[in-house]
Amino acid sequence: MYSRRWTVAAVVVFVALAGLAGWRVAAARAAPAPAFQQSKGPINVHARKYSYTPSRIEVEEGDLVTIRFEADDIPHGFTIDDDAYRISKRAAPGHPVVFEFRAEKVGTFPYYCNLAADPGCKKMRGELVVRRRR
């Protein structure tokens, strides 16, 4: 009769082998593409009363994302509240901010303007979509 310890060990070995096999298959399929995509140049995001252009940013998992954030009329913010993406940037007209991050978490993450000077800013919404890499 197998002890509980051996059962656990067998499961660990199985998971490790399955993971390794899966990784090999994925690596072969992905052939020339690097595991992490380099930045494709900045994504320009404009903010003006009271919206973002674009209001949807789509990237792929693993991308190094560079955003150039520019306010066209009054100061605006670009904030994402998430454990994976803690971003809070502020741009004033004529003073764009450029920042980058690694898109490590798949999902849809809202961004918004957190500046309180103009109450209309509360309406500003966009979404960052990080697609799973195939």
Q: Which residues bind Cu ion (CB under 5 A)?
A: 76, 113, 115, 121
* Rounded Cα gap, residues 113 and 92, in angstroms: 12
SS3 94: coil
Nearest approach in angstroms of CB 16 to Cu ion is 49
Nearest approach in angstroms of CB 97 to Cu ion is 14
Nearest approach in angstroms of CB 126 to Cu ion is 12
Closer CB to Cu ion, residue 121 or residue 128? 121
Contact indicator for 124, 51 with CB cutoff of 8 Å: yes
Closer CB to Cu ion, residue 37 or residue 114? 114
Nearest approach in angstroms of CB 119 to Cu ion is 10
Q: Which residues contact 95 (CB under 8 A, 6 or more apart)?
A: 71
* Rounded Cα gap, residues 44 and 46, in angstroms: 7
Closer CB to Cu ion, residue 77 or residue 109? 77
Closer CB to Cu ion, residue 103 or residue 126? 126
Q: Please report, to the nearest 10 degrees, the dihedral formed by the alpha carbons of residues 18, 21, 22, 28 taken in order.
A: 180
